[in-house]
Amino acid sequence: MNDFVELLNDLILSPSRKKKIDLLKIFFCKSNLKDKGWAFCILTNRMDRKFVSVKELKELIIENYDEDLFRFSYDYVGDLAETISLLWESNNEKNTKINLHEFMEIFSNFDHKNKFKTKLKYFLDRSSENQRYTIIKILTGGLRVGVSNGLIKEALKLSGVRKKSEIEEFWHGFKLPCTDLFEWLDGKKLPKYINRKKLFNSFMLANNYNSNEFKSCKTDDYIAEFKWDGIRAQIIFSEDGKIFSRNGEDITNSFCDINTFIKGYFVVDGEIVVKKNNKVLSFNHLQKRIGRKNPSKKLIEDYPIHFIAYDILFYTSVDCRALDLIERKKYLNRFINICKFSNISTSSLIKFSSWDQLQNIKETSLNNHIEGVIIKKKTSLYKKGRVVDGWYKWKRNPFSVDFIIMYAQRGHGKRSSFYSDFTFGCWVDEQFTKLVPVGKAYSGYTNDELKSLDRWVRNNTVERFGPVRSLKPGLVVEVSFDNINYSSRHKSGVALRFPRFSRIRWDKPISQVCSLKYIKDLIN
Amino acid sequence: MRKTNINWLKKKREGLYCVPGNFFIDPVFPVEKALITHAHTDHARPNNKSIFSSKETIELMHLRYGESYCSDFQIASFDEKIKINDVTVQILPAGHILGSIQFLINYKGYRLLISGDYKRTKDKTCLSYEPVECDTFITEATFGLPIFNHPNDESEVKKLIKSIKANVNKTHLIGVYALGKCQRLITLLRNLGYDETIYLHGALTKISDFYSKNNIKLGKISNISDCSRSEYANKLVLCPPSSLNDKWSQKFKNVVKGYASGWMRIRQRVKQKNIELPLILSDHADWGEILKTVNDVNPNEVLVTHGREEALVHYLTKKNFKSSALNLIGFEDENE
């Protein structure tokens, strides 16, 4: 296990991509097959479940440590695994020497909740700080050690006989504990359970639109489509169809009202939205469906799903990814004609003859649930990731409103010494006497601005409640947000989507900030 | 039962004020009379009229601030009690940096101990902390959370030596505070047998020379500007933390960046500062040392200042000490 503990620690501290790849390569070379497999599963977050929840971990630490001291520490460190690993008092004499795969086998075969905690405590008691950190990170999943899948593919390519493109094709097929992946990399046959036609395919992604780059581009070479505010999905239509989310997660059950059963094999890329009475509804509505594994009949009726298809990767035996966009669109239309499912449609193309005109369409579109437009080069092939000369997203200009800062809270982790999370609000009415909180923002400022904000907070505190400070009304900030909707969950009655600071108005008097009525009028 | 009512200590805009003594302790703004615990810039500021501190602290202030260090000074010595107006003041070593002291202030038999910044770990560059019984104890809480448990300083410095040996072609660039940390790190390196020349950023030389003059042996040290570009490889270079990521450091190609600080305990901090080689080396008491010190000085009341006061106040209250946060402004949370 210690090799893996060291690997994680080194990966966290290594600043360069090359060094990280080297570290992984060395680890994959020297470790035994079983350890390699498990390490791969951990690094690529391939576990079928979380072994332990945040709640259970908190319970464990509180059973063994002063609860308040834990809370103060957690508030400061921001990372649960790190907090626990630093607080836990271990007995180093009992130090355990267990292999990574032995450790993983113990925990992946565990199903008794209470004994699980005892077992985890057993290991924490016998570990060093670094080992504890690794153990907890493994069991909670989501390592965040700055290792992308791309980096791991790079390291695997270097240690085996397979090409990167081959690794890419079968990447999503290998199952826990992935020892067969490493055998395959060494030249053995693919495991029988891998069926290429059931695997998720990597998505093509959009770059950000840059008006300078497009100035000289002919609009004739591009198509444009609306960017709907839904979730990206890949649907495999076959006799054993599947729906995958943006990161390849199987979400078939959550969206069971989309029929994926069809003879043949078609892989379609598009956006999942909620559509009722011929109208696409806001993301808030879609949120009711996300994460529900077995939606009730009522939920399905209240929030019916619609799939807006915009690309096709496979049309039976044709690998459309190697065809240009216009050809692919033809295949997509043929597929839509075959399937005839009422809740699947193609994304319509926007007619435009200049970039200015497209911008105008994007900004004036009456539909509130359009985030902007996507521009796609007609000759582009379907490739993984963000491709130059491929797709570009051009978002709508955000709303922008001045608010007054009301509360500040210390950040987490690396921002834990700064007041970086701000609650802002506006006047309740035109009398300018009472404020109501409207939203929270914790981004959009530079590091220098953060320092000035932090200083302002410390000098204008009225009251302190733990990590939160209540502030004297005095500082105006311009806040940008992508959208605004009514909300019964907020005191103000409105909810902003992705609010962030766009400017700090040190100069502006608070009497010039608007009232809640003005904000509500922004909703269409 | 001893009295715990200390109504003769006030918080003012300039800082902590002792009424019967008519002086301030580590004031943030210039005052008539200031008692200075140590020469770090957040505690020792220029332009006070009269200052009272250890010989080294006064000399360091002179070195840093030139003639604005004060208009009048009085050197405190460890073996006498000084009467200042209605109080008597005694000084004791604080173990933080060269010249750092604590003030034991006695007013009508009530003893107030102001410790300034301190640590309990042995440090060859300064006198060790000396505990003394008191009624009210003012402690810092820079590392006042139980997550801070500083590891052995030699094992941290061994990490640096190991890395220098393992990366022969690289320059090791280590961020250190100019006063205290820099010289302590050099001394630790020398004790572990590292006898190569250590190169210093210009901002570190003046104070290091001062340490040398005070008989703290730093071995061969040299200003980095005396070193030609082709010779950077395989050198150990110390610089102020702020220089680790500025233009100055870009002249070194192929570097391992390190940072010697108690904050290196926290991975997020290490990552945030792009540090490859964190050295957990602190001149402040960690959680265990603070608690040990409170036990040693055995006060009825503990006042907690700069740092993470809440956890310490909470813990001490639970242990039946009267305890509260002093909430002084002007002391930077993050300085070491």
pLDDT band at A94 (very low <50, low <70, confident <90, very high): low
Q: Give the per-residue SS3 of A34-102.
A: HHHHHHHHHHCCCCCCCCCCHHHHHHHHHHHCCHHHHHHHHHHHCCHHHHHHHHCCCCHHHCCCCCHHH
DSSP B3-19: ----TTEEEETTEEEET
Is B265–A86 a contact, with Cβ atoms under 8 angstroms apart?
Answer: yes
| Residue A372, token pair as written in the block | 């902007």
Asked whether the beta carbons of residue B276 and residue A73 sit closer than 8 angstroms, the reply is no
Strands (E), chain B: 9-12, 15-18, 23-25, 33-35, 50-53, 72-75, 82-84, 87-93, 101-107, 110-114, 136-141, 171-175, 198-200, 221-223, 236-239, 255-260, 277-279, 301-307, 322-325
pTM for this model (two decimals): 0.79
B276 and A413 in contact by Cβ < 8 A?
no
Report yes or no: B315 at the A interface, CB cutoff 8 Å: yes
pLDDT band per the 50, 70, 90 thresholds, residue A77: confident
CB contact under 8 A, B270 and A13: yes
What residue of A is the nearest CA neighbor of B270?
A: A13
pLDDT single digits (tens) A400-443 = 999 999 999 987 766 767 889 999 999 998 888 899 999 999 99
pLDDT average, residue stretch A201-206: 93
Q: Any CB–CB contact under 8 A between B155 and chain A?
A: no
**Other beta carbons within 10 Å of A56:** 16
Task: Quote the CA–CA distance of B247 and B225 in Å, as a whole number.
Answer: 15
> Residue B331: pLDDT above 80?
no
How does residue B120 score in pLDDT terms, banded at 50, 70 and 90?
very high
A88 interaction partners in chain B (CB closer than 8 Å):
none
Cα(B70)–Cα(B87) distance, rounded to whole angstroms? 23
- Give the confidence band of A458 by pLDDT, cuts at 50, 70, 90: confident
A69 → closest Cβ in B276, B315, B333: B315
CB of A77 within 8 Å of a chain B CB? The answer is yes
Q: Which residues contact B20 (CB under 8 A, 6 or more apart)?
A: B8, B85, B86, B87, B107
- pLDDT, tens only, B130-151: 999 999 999 999 999 999 999 9
Which pLDDT score, from 0 to 100, does residue A478 have?
94
pLDDT of A32-71, one tens digit each? 999 999 999 999 888 767 788 888 899 999 999 999 999 9
B260-279 confidence digits (pLDDT tens) = 999 999 988 888 788 999 99
Q: Collapsing DSSP states into helix, strand and coil, what is residue B88?
A: strand
Matching residue, tokens 């700064």: A418
Percentage of chain A beyond pLDDT 90 is 55
Structure-block tokens of residue B334: 């993050």
Closest CA to B25 of B46, B5, B44, B39: B44
Domain A2-140: give its CATH superfamily: DNA ligase, ATP-dependent, N-terminal domain (1.10.3260.10)
The answer to whether residue A140 neighbours chain B at the CB level (below 8 Å) is: no
A100 and A177 Cβ atoms separated by less than 8 Å: no
CA gap A145, A24 in Å, rounded: 12
Q: Is it true that domain B153-279 has CATH number 3.60.15.10? A: no
Q: Write out chain B residues lying below 8 Å of A469, CB-based.
A: none
Q: Give me chain A's average pLDDT, please.
A: 89
Position B83 scores a pLDDT of 96
* Nearest CA distance, B276 vs chain A (angstrom): 5
pLDDT single digits (tens) B202-211: 999 999 999 9
B positions 243-272 inside 8 Å of A (CB): 257, 265-272
- Strand partners for A205: A386
* Residue corresponding to tokens 């075969």: A109
B167-182 per-position pLDDT tens digit: 988 999 999 999 999 9
Residue A414: its chain B contacts at CB < 8 A?
A: 268-269, 271-272
Q: In this complex, do B147 and A76 lie within 8 Å of one another by their Cβ atoms?
A: yes
Contact of A402 with A62, CB cutoff 8 Å:
no
Q: Which residues of A touch B268 (CB under 8 A)?
A: 77-79, 82, 413-414, 416
Q: Return the residue of B nearest to A72 by Cα.
A: B311
Question: What is the H or E stretch that residue A389 is in?
Answer: strand A385-395
- Looking at per-residue confidence, does A54 or A225 come out higher? A225
Is the Cβ–Cβ distance between B24 and B33 less than 8 Å? yes
Helix axes A100-108, A33-43, angle to 10 degrees: 60
CA distance A149 to A45: 10
Delimit the domains of chain B by residue range.
9-147+284-325, 153-279
pLDDT at A485: 84
Contacts of A87 in chain B (CB under 8 A): 146-147
Percent of all residues in chain B with a pLDDT value above 70, rounded to a whole number = 95
Reported ipTM: 0.91
Give the Å distances, CA to CA, from A296 to A166, A292, A300, B172, B322: 41, 9, 6, 62, 57
A455 touching chain B per CB within 8 A: no
* Domain B9-147+284-325: which CATH number of 3.60.15.10, 3.10.20.30, 3.40.1360.10, 3.40.50.10490: 3.60.15.10
**Which residue reads 């009424």 in tokens?**
B19
- The whole-number pLDDT of residue B68 equals 93
Residue of B nearest to A87 (CA): B147
Our CA-based measurement puts residue B290 at a distance from the nearest CA of chain A, in whole angstroms, of 15
Supply φ then ψ for residue B213, to 5 degrees: -60, -25
Question: Would an 8 Å CB–CB cutoff place A12 in contact with chain B?
Answer: yes
Is the Cβ of A73 closer than 8 Å to some Cβ of chain B? yes
Of B271, B274, B310, the CB nearest to A72: B310
B147, A86: Cβ pair inside 8 Å? yes
Degrees, nearest 5: CA angle A231-A263-A333: 55
- Reported as a single tens digit per residue, the pLDDT across A357-371 is 999 998 887 666 788
Phi/psi region, residue A181 (left: phi>0; alpha: psi -120 to 50; beta: rest), is alpha
Say if strands A500-505 and A494-497 run parallel, antiparallel, or are unpaired.
unpaired
Considering only CB atoms, which chain A residues are within 8 Å of B147? Answer: 73, 76-77, 83, 86-87
Residue A379: pLDDT above 80? yes
What is the CATH code for A399-521? Answer: 2.40.50.140
- Average pLDDT score over residue span A156-164: 79
Nearest to B113 by CA among B336, B331, B258, B293: B293
Q: Closest to A12 (Cβ–Cβ): which among B147, B271, B277?
A: B271
Contact call for A76 and B275, based on CB within 8 A: no
What's the pLDDT at A157?
Answer: 84
What amino acid is encoded at A281 in this protein?
A: L
Question: Smallest CA–CA separation between B331 and chain A, in Å?
Answer: 12
* CA-based nearest distance A17→chain B, Å: 13
Interface test with B, best of A16, A77, A85, A448 (most B CBs within 10 A): A77
Find out whether the peptide bond into A177 is cis, omega within 30 degrees of 0: yes
Is A13 within 8 Å of B272 when comparing Cβ atoms? no
State the Cα–Cα distance between residues B248 and B232, nearest whole angstrom. 13
Contacts of residue A197, Cβ cutoff 8 Å, sequence gap at least 6 = A236, A238, A265
CA B257 to the chain's CA centroid: 23
A313 shares contact with chain B (CB less than 8 Å): no
Contact at CB, A79 and B267, closer than 8 angstroms: yes
The pLDDT value given to residue A431: 83
Domain A204-395 belongs in CATH node 3.40.605.10: no
Which among B220, B229, B217, B215 has a CA at the least distance from the CA of B200?
Answer: B220
- The tokens of A132 are what? 């504890």
Contact of B275 with chain A, judged by CB distance below 8 Å, is answered with: yes
B/e letters for A365-404, b = 16+ CB within 10 Å, e = fewer, are eeeebbbbbbbbbeebbbbeeebeebbbebebebbebbbb
The helix (H) or strand (E) run that includes residue A440 is strand A435-441
Q: Which of B146, B147, B276 sits opposite A13 (nearest CB)?
A: B276
